[in-house]
Amino acid sequence: MANLQIGKHIARYPVIQGGMGVRISGGSLAGHVALCGGIGIVATAGLAMNSPLFTGRNYFQADPAALKEELKKAYSIAPDGIIGVNVMVALSDFEALVRASVEGGAKLLICGAGLPMTLPELTSDAPDVALVPIVSSVRAAQLIAKKWHRGTGRLPDAVVVEDPDTAGGHLGEKLENIGSGIYDQYKTVREVKNFMKSEYGVNIPVIAAGGIWDRPDILNALAQGADGVQMASRFVPTVECDASESFKKAYIDCSKEDIGLIMSPAGLPGRALVANLEDIMEYDRANSPACSTGCLKKCTYKESGERFCIVKALDRAQRGDVRTGLIFCGTNAYRAERIETVQEVFDELFQAQEDEAAA
């Protein structure tokens, strides 16, 4: 497996740790992944919720400040590591979080849950920060590239192609299409690579996300044309993950049948542990009758009280309330067997390669 270069940044291993919001992938996990030779990612969604900076009324002031604190923590663990930020386009403070990411020293920005059409303009004073959109179709990659190139001359430094049939969290596909068998992730990977080469004459890395758990999964992704992989769920049951022990244990205890699809208040389908969905909604009906943060640009709970407050549900789970909290996960979460260290994960994925190189 070759190194992974995104923009000016070269990772020892072709692994990006996926962004998992509301403090599942915070400074600790991102820092340790970077320390081990991968690309560590701090997810911005809901960082204010479990921050001492949040008073309950200053969400949009506390959120970017909390992000900078997590980046500082990550760099204290891996001062020379490659650490980036995942910023959902669907967030109300998307622009502020992009700017805070740059100010906090992020080396790359990964953006999904919408098309990040304004990202080059927002980062025009930080040309060394790599820009990486998440897509599920070649059409989305084409729209982004053409808009960026026409407006600023900028192109994506890499593209993450997410498989909605296997990935966790919010998904960039219509609910009725997920699991229908019509989606071919690696065909999309190759089409995105071919489009960038034929249209602009550039070979940018295309990253496969969703359903990546072990070394054979990585080797398959590379054999299918991907330049690297994004792994999220695999890093949840680790010592260094920022989630509560109860959250990690929920992965270890779950079965394949416990994992399913929900419709998020954000208007996007999502994959999660679904057995407690009624408890989540009942909690908000009893305790949170109105939106108190406005964290999403579009939210049925904010607009009409429909479904549940997703940021609070995710926050409860992150803190340890797995009965009324929402636990996002990919389809392979049930494969977790124990809590291990991030280094042990990397050893399993790459030690054979290192031993072979040393022989």
DSSP 147-166: HHHHHHS---S-EEEE-TTT
- 65 vs 339: CA distance, rounded Å: 30
Q: Which of 2-6, 147-151, 353-357 has the weakest average pLDDT?
A: 353-357
Question: Which CATH class for the 7-243+337-358 domain?
Answer: alpha beta
> Binning pLDDT at 50, 70 and 90, where does residue 356 land?
low
Please state the φ and ψ torsions of residue 356, each to the nearest 5 degrees: -65, -40
Is the pLDDT confidence value at 358 over 70? no
Six token digits for residue 277: 């969905």
At 292 the pLDDT is: 85
At 351 the pLDDT is: 84
Length of the chain: 359
Q: Which of 41-55, 73-87, 200-214, 287-301 has the weakest average pLDDT?
A: 287-301
> Binning pLDDT at 50, 70 and 90, where does residue 184 land?
very high
At 286 the pLDDT is: 87
At 359 the pLDDT is: 58
- Condensed to tens digits (0 to 9), the pLDDT of residues 1-11 reads 789 999 999 99
Is the pLDDT confidence value at 64 over 90? yes
Torsion of the alpha carbons at 296, 94, 226 and 201, rounded to the nearest 10: 140
Domain boundaries, the chain: 7-243+337-358, 247-319
- Average pLDDT over the chain reads 95
Q: Which of 111-120, 303-312, 346-355 has the weakest average pLDDT?
A: 346-355
At 355 the pLDDT is: 66
At 78 the pLDDT is: 98
pTM, whole model, 2 decimals? 0.95
List C-alpha distances in Å: 219 to 103, 180, 225. 36, 25, 10
**Burial of 227 (C-beta count, 10 Å sphere; 0-12/13-18/19+):** buried
Please state the φ and ψ torsions of residue 95, each to the nearest 5 degrees: -65, -45
At 354 the pLDDT is: 67
At 304 the pLDDT is: 87
- Exposure class string for 164-202: b at 16+ Cβ within 10 A, else e: bbbbbbbbbbeeeebeeeebebbebbbbbbebbeeeeee
At 63 the pLDDT is: 97
At 287 the pLDDT is: 84
Q: Beta-carbon neighbour count of residue 89 at 10 Å?
A: 18
